[in-house]
Amino acid sequence: MTDIGLEAAGMPARGAAAPRDLAMFFRQFSTILNAGLPVDRALDLLSRDREDRTTAKLAEPLLQQVRMGTPLATAMTREGALFGPFAVSVTRAAEASGDLGHATGTLADHFEQRAALLDEIRSTLTYPAVLFAASALAVIVLFVVVVPQFEPLFDRSGADIPTTTATVLAISRWMVAWGGWTGIAIAVLVAGLMLPAAAPLRDRFVSASPLIGALRNRADAARWARGLATLTKAGVGLPEALSIVADAAQSGPIRAAAVHVANAILQGRSLAGVMAETGAFPTVAVQMVRVGEETGRLSEVLNSVADLIGRDVKGRTKRLVALIEPVLILVLGLAVALVVMALLTTVTSLNEAVT
């Protein structure tokens, strides 16, 4: 059902839940189902959870619909993008096979692994981000607070000041006069880029970055493989599974490759062959998928591919941070040193002229 259809039915479309929240919901759901309780009783228990309100809020709307006889997958679909087509497809296949307890456990594993990869990337990038922010703040304070204290001294002396010092003073005057407005403009621009409508622009910007773009493509390829493995293991047909994971892809290159793969499979072509044709997937991943197709263990092999690419993403992220940190420290350190040296040299020259 589309977002328009949801609004017409009196149920506004909702944004997708975070992977960690979905992992917690499906893990608890799976545990209760595997204990022998029916779906409505399981959802009722989850909706009464007062400690984890996120899980309760995910369960409550499903409980109301299931009690009215609506299949669980249909109820999830009516919640818009909250659960997403991926979870809906796995649930629908599980309802058809009667193995919902195992399928929800598989969904929990999928979202836990996805959240773990995102958390590790974020934690690795946190330190350089904090370092950059602290260093930038130090430079701003230097130009806005410290440098203006020297300007009256230079003006009273009436002496010619070096070009370097004049440049530092000019930058300081500009930052004092326009720095606040510039900061507001940058904040508005960043906020605008975070809007859903700006997603294509963000995608082009990230894809154009040789380092960040490559990392995101690799992470998206791992998510594609993991999602495809989960769907096929749950009994979803390969063409439908490929279509679902193609829609969920975030980076432009992987999305285009996933759409091409989904369309080519409908023509009866080999998955590994089409993956190699796109050039968007690592060679070792293509070789592993080819083996999986030949041995009939595609789901298992796709999980291994996701693990392999995920480890590669983590390694690349750590190497990127190891490269950024010394460069950042060196550049900002040089900037501070140049400003301090320019001011001290001029002050020393003025003192010598007075004496």
Q: What is the DSSP letter of 134?
A: H
- pLDDT below 70 — which residues of the chain? 1-15, 157-159, 196, 198-200, 206-208, 210, 250, 349-355
What pLDDT score does 4 carry? 29
What pLDDT score does 15 carry? 63
Nearest CA-CA partner of 89 in 211, 240, 193, 225: 240
CA angle 270, 276, 282 (to 5 degrees): 125
Percent of the chain surpassing pLDDT 70: 89
The two three-digit tokens of residue 154, written as one number: 């230079």
What pLDDT score does 349 carry? 66
Instruction: Please say whether the beta carbons of 261 and 239 come within 8 A.
Output: no
Q: What predicted TM-score, i.e. pTM, was given to this entire model? A: 0.68
Angstrom distances, CA of residue 145 to CA of 140, 141, 169: 8, 5, 12
What pLDDT score does 19 carry? 87
Measured between alpha carbons, how far apart are the two ends of the chain, in Å?
A: 84
Helix 252-265 with 212-233: angle, nearest 10 deg: 30
Q: What sign results for the dihedral spanned by CA atoms 226, 38, 28, 80? A: positive
What pLDDT score does 288 carry? 92
3-state secondary structure (DSSP) of residue 324? helix
